[in-house]
Structure formats: C-alpha cells, structure tokens
Chain A
Amino acid sequence: MIGRMLMLVRRELWEHKALIVAPLVVAALMIFGFVLSFITAVFTGVSFDVAVATLELTGAPASLTGGAALLGVSSGMLNLVLAAVVFFYSIDALYAERKDKSILFWRSLPVTDTETVISKLLTAVIAAPLVTIGIMIAAQIVLLILATLAILIGGGNPVELIWGPLPFVQFWVLTIYTFITSSIWFAPLIGWFLLCSAFAKRSVLLWVVLPIVVLVMLEGIVLRSLHMSAFIRDRFADAPVAGLSLPNGVVMDDNALRALVQSGDLNILQVIAPGQYLASPGLWGGLVVTALFLAGAVYCRRFRS
C-alpha cells in the first residue's frame, strides 16, 4: 500500500522534473552569487582581516544576524520557488495526462482514480516541500562552508564566529516544520488547482482564477462586502505562522539577541506550536474543503476521460 503510493509519487517527480530542477537551479545560482562576490572581494582588495575584525568587535550578535540573513534569505528564496513550482505542477497534474492521452495507459493499470489523485496531492503538499528542503539544507551547508573559508582567510575563528553562535540545526528543524505546516495549510488551494486541472478542457489557468475573481466581484456588487477577499488574504497571511506561536510584538533586535546569546537561552524552537496547529479550525476546515475538491477531481477523471 505504502510502496504503491511511494511509486505513484515517484512517477510524479519523474514527470514533473521542475519540482526538483527549479530549486536546484536557484540554489546553484545562490551559491554561484556567493562565490562571485567572494572572488570580487579578493580581486578588489577588500580586506578580509578588517571585515573579520569588525565582526569580532561587534561580537556574536553581528555574526548571528549575518548568518541568520544567509539562512533566512536562501530559505525565503527557495520557498518562493517552491510555491511557483507547486502551483504549475498542480494545475498541470491532471491535465497533461489527458492532453498527451497517457491517461488511457494509466487507467489500464489496476490503480484507482482516488489513489492517483491522492498521490498528486501528496506530491504537491509533502514531496515537493521535502525535496526543496533537502536542496536548501545542502545549499546552506555549502554557503556556511564558504563563509568559513572567508573567515579563515581573514584570520578569524569560524567556530566562534559562525558555527558556535548560529543555531542552524534549530533553524532547519523550524524550516522543515513551517514548510510542512504551511503547505498543509494551503492544501485546499492545491485541491482547487487539481480540480481545475481535472475539469478544464483547455486553459486551466482561467478556470483557476476566474471563478474566484467573479465570486469576489459578485460579493462586492451584490452584498457590498469583501468577506471573501479578506478570507483569502488571511488564509495566505496565516499560512506561515499557523503552526507557530510568536510572542506578541517581539522584535529581535541586536540587544535582545545579545542578551539571549549571553544567557545561553537562544532557542528558536520555542515558537513551534504543533498543539495550536492541530487544534485550529482553519486546518481541519481546510482539509474538509480539500477532500471535497479532490472528490470532484476523482469524479472528473472517472467520467470525463
């Protein structure tokens, strides 16, 4: 059972290579950019000694902010890439097989339409984020090694400046957690994309966008309210933080960081709140809507092919 599902998901990754290639390319570009600035710095005579000395002078928080920026920017970019590839994947997933007629072959195998549709949801919601996270961690390790080299050239101590203070393992745990919680949060949206891709005879994109736009406009004209657009906006805004409990109004400034580092209390995993996530009606309501959309997609695949 699990073996079958894994094979179905693997087939999706074989077919939709962008799910792997796009984050790989972006990660490679980031590393390339870092190397390039490294080389530029060497050739334009930027003194690594001075840079490292400045770092040492300002102490841990400065290298911490630098390192956090390195991790934060790279994971942020890959998160955007993930959103884009998952979007294009899910509007194509049940459309491409009809367009190239391969659905006739897939349906000649003992695989139910429900299994197939679920495998496509799992690919978008679980497999694609895991692939991106794997690539992200690998890329960040390379970036940290490059930063270590730069510090060594400047005569600094990389353990003191980066590897010691930077909570990268915690950061990775937090990233994996938020990638997965937010993509499950977005499952109803992916369910909608899959439904459109199973339903549309052509131009899936139009079917994805148009009903939402029309409904929002109708609500505005008829009821003179904007509940729907507000709902959609909130759903997007909530996604990254739905599984986190952030202390209100906390800004991580240098002083706060310094205090945290000095007290040895820096634990970014404190914000993880799986209980709150699992108890939120938004999660379960979303999953119910997802199930409805998927049922529609299964129906379309069964009756319209």
Chain B
Amino acid sequence: MSALVQARGVSKRFGNVRAVDNVNFDIQPGKIVGLIGPNGAGKTTLLKAVLGLTDCDGDMQVCGLDPFRQRKALMNEVSYVADVAVLPRWISVDRLLGFVSEMHPKFSERDARAALGNTKIPLKAKVKELSKGMIAQLHLSIIMAIDARLLILDEPTLGLDILFRKSFYTELLNDYFDLERTIVITTHQVEEIEHILTDVMFIDDGRIVLDETVEAIGERYTELMVTPDRVAEARTLAPLTEREVFGKSVLTFEGVGREKLEPFGDVRTPGIADLFVAKISRERAA
C-alpha cells in the first residue's frame, strides 16, 4: 500500500533558521501517529507543510497531492485542528453547521448534530457565548463528522480539563478511528495518548530523531531499574541515559537484549515521555 504522507528531503527555512531540516518519512494508512517534540522543534512548521499552509523545499505528497499547490483538493481529504479557539466567535452553532455542510462534500451534518446532542452545547447559541471547553468540543465534533482520510490534531486538547481529554481520546479511538483513517497527533501530554498510538515520531531541532512503530519501540528500547550497588556494572552496557527515581537508578538502553539486563533488576518498556527525554538529551549531547 502506498504511503498517505510521503516526505522526501523536506526543508523549510525562515531566514537563516532551518525550522524543518531535510526530513524524510512515510505515514501509512490506518496509523495513529504521535508527533512529539519540544517547543520550537519544528512540529507546527512540519504540519503546516503537510497541510499546504506553507510552501517548503523538497518533495511532499499527501494523499498523492502537492499540499501547497492542490490545497482545495487536499482539504477534501484532510481535516485538521490547527489551534483551539479558532472558530469564528460571531457565528451561531446552527449556522456554522449549515455553512460547513454546504462547503464540505464529506461533512455529515447529521453526525455532527448527533455528536452535539450528547453535549450541553445549545444549537442556537453563538460561539462567543460558549465556554472554552464547549468551543473545543464543537470544533472537534465538526472535524470528526468529516469523512477524511487524514486527520491532523495539533494540540487538540490544549487548556482543557482532564475529564474532557480522556473522553475525547476514547471517542477518537472508538467512534472515529478505523483502518482506512489515519490520525496524526501532537501534544505535550504524551502519557494521555500513549495507549492509542501505533507509531511515534520524535522531532528535535527540525530533524526526525526517531520514527518507529510502538511495537518496535518495545523490542528495541528497555528501561532497567537498578539498585545503587549494581549501577556501575549496568553502565558498562552503554545506556542512552540515566535518571534517579526514589534512590534507585533508571537506565534506558537501546538495542540491548532483555536477557542481558534482567539479572540487574526490574526491566520494562520505557514510557514514550521517558524515551523522548532520553533520546533528545542524547541527541543534544552528541
């Protein structure tokens, strides 16, 4: 199957700064990809290039289209939330649904209304009368009623409470996602999306530093918790990084077999957030 997103040597410069630096990757259909990176790493710029919101060097193809030059066709296939609170504040919920329904051939007004029926959002209300959480809910209800091949969520739950975030990701996985659809998510709250991801991409300083399936990460990376008396011995196996938790040392290894580590202490697969810290600090030290 051909990739839904294909980036070959993609770069984007702002003056002398390379926000995205010669990036290559593929995103296959039916994946949920977490794009993780620190602030200013180039996440948003990269997503903008995928969405045709900015021109870039190199070759970028999304759904077989050039995102910047074939933007209207692309927007039929791709939907996204670029930022929460970008819905026009003057419009009423009713009119907004009517408008999107007329302009978007793949938007199901019925699905959106059904989703909103489960919320407290009044259809007659104007967006400016809704709370911040309701506006996000409204926006996501609209986006999820679009039968898109690719859904991009850039910090979709920023500033929303934990109850909302939990139910949003559950809904995303249960009601929206299927094997035809592909989702790319960025967020700082990595732990909350960890369990739904199939693939992970780390980006730092405009470059992709990790691009793996969650399965491969489990096979390749291990975390060892070891008591102080055996740390020196464990270090000889060349860990990526090391940190202290409750007086014990936690060492992250890449490509070291579990059977070699198990004699030293507890072995497990690192969380994405910890792996991210390990990988990024390693990259920066290099």
Contacts and interface: CB of A to CB of B under 8 A. Distances in A.
Is B truly associated with A?
Answer: yes
Interface size classification for chain A: 20 to 34
Contacts of A142: none
A107 B72 contact: no
Nearest to B143: A108
B111 interface: no
Contacts of A109: 75, 100, 103-104
A106 B82 CA distance: 11
B94 to A, nearest CB: 11
Contact of B79 (A11, A100, A108): A108
Interface residues of B, number: 29
B71 interface: yes
B103 A108 contact: no
Contact of A110 (B51, B87, B103): B103
Nearest to A302: B71
A4 to B, nearest CB: 6
B40 interface: no
A7 interface: yes
Contacts of A104: 82-83, 86
B76 A110 contact: yes
A236 interface: no
Interface string B100-143: 10111100000000000000000000000000000000010000
A302 B135 CA distance: 26
Interface string A89-118: 000000001001111111111111000000
Interface in A9-30: 11, 14-15
Nearest to A10: B99
Contacts of A8: 103
Contacts of B238: none
A303 B99 CA distance: 25
Contact of B90 (A3, A15, A107): A15
A102 B86 contact: yes
- Most-contacted residue by chain B among A4, A100, A106, A112 (CB, 10 A): A100
B270 to A, nearest CB: 35
B80 interface: yes
A105 B105 contact: no
Contacts of A103: 86
Interface in A256-305: 303, 305
Contacts of B89: 100, 102
A111 B86 contact: no
B95 A14 contact: yes
Contacts of A110: 72-73, 75-76, 103-105
Given A14-B95, A110-B76, A112-B71, A105 B87 contact: yes
A275 to B, nearest CB: 37
Contacts of B88: 15, 97, 100, 102, 105-106
A112 B102 contact: no
Contact of A11 (B51, B73, B99): B99
A51 B55 CA distance: 74
A104 B80 CA distance: 10
Given A14-B90, A101-B83, A102-B89, A4 B72 contact: no
Contact of B103 (A15, A100, A102, A111): A111
A108 B90 contact: no
Interface of A: 3-4, 7-8, 11, 14-15, 97, 100-112, 303, 305
27 contacts: A3-B102, A7-B103, A11-B99, A14-B91, A14-B95, A15-B88, A15-B90, A15-B91, A100-B88, A101-B83, A101-B85, A102-B87, A102-B88, A102-B89, A104-B86, A105-B86, A105-B87, A105-B139, A108-B51, A108-B75, A108-B82, A109-B100, A110-B73, A110-B75, A110-B76, A110-B104, A111-B72
Which 5 residue pairs spanning A and B have beta carbons closest together? A110-B75, A102-B88, A104-B86, A7-B102, A105-B86
